């Protein structure tokens, strides 16, 4: 079985590009539609535990499955979590295909193939993590400058009591789930928002 994991960090981001990458890879490798299962979610990659689709993927893995990931940074935001997840996949007997990294499938020696793959993953995850840290630092500096100049207004909240249109419907669905004492994960999945958004609405309501 081929298991694809797709992720974006927020509700307003699209998974279309990742779907296209998976589709192209499937066609190129003659993968039948029934042999491919896709797990997708719109949630931050900050931690592993608060990602229900990732947890479902982990539970679903069987020996000889192939995990397909469009890009290494879709899996995790730091090198430790990346290595831990890849090790977990391998411990379940699954192979891993990361579409934005070089493939060593042509290397016949399994030990050498694993060595090369691990080396590339180590380098790419380290570079990606450091790049994220640099971006975060630049954003912080930019916010500080904007605050000093009186131009920083903060991030706009999409889902709130005075929202309109689709955003108001989503907000009402979150509130309804909270009032029914549904789990945060269930509300997040039903409303199509991150768990962080649900927690924020819950906090605003004083619940």
Active site residues: 9
SS3 96: strand
Question: Is the CA virtual torsion 184, 164, 17, 20 positive or negative?
Answer: positive
Beta bridge partners of 98: 69
List the 66-69 sheet strands across, edge first.
Answer: 36-42, 2-8, 66-69, 95-98
Q: Which of 75, 69, 90 is nearest to 25 (CA)?
A: 69
| Contacts of 157-161 spanning 24+ positions with Cβ under 8 A | 157/200, 158/11, 158/12, 158/197, 159/193, 159/197, 159/201, 160/201, 160/204
DSSP 14-67: --HHHHHHHHHHHHHTT--GGGEEEEEEES-SS-STT-HHHHHHHHH--TT-EE
């Amino acid at each position: 079985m081929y298991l694809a994991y797709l992720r974006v960090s927020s509700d307003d981001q699209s998974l279309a590009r990742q779907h296209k990458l998976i589709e192209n890879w499937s066609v190129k490798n003659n993968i039948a539609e029934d042999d491919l299962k896709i797990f997708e979610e719109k949630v931050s990659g900050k931690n592993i535990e608060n990602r229900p689709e990732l947890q479902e993927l982990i539970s679903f893995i069987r020996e000889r499955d192939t995990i397909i990931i469009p890009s290494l940074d879709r899996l995790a935001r730091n090198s430790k979590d990346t290595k831990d997840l890849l090790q977990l996949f391998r411990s379940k007997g699954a192979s891993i295909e990361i579409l934005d990294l070089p493939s060593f499938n042509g290397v016949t020696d399994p030990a050498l193939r694993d060595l090369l793959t691990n080396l590339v993953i180590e380098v790419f995850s380290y570079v990606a993590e450091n790049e994220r840290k640099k971006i975060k630092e630049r954003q912080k500096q930019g916010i500080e400058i904007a605050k000093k100049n009186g131009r920083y207004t903060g991030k706009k909240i999409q889902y709130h009591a005075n929202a309109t249109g689709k955003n108001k419907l989503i907000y009402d669905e979150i509130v309804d789930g909270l009032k029914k004492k549904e789990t945060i994960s269930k509300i997040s999945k039903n409303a199509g928002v991150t768990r962080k958004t649900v927690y924020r609405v819950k906090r605003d309501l004083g619940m």
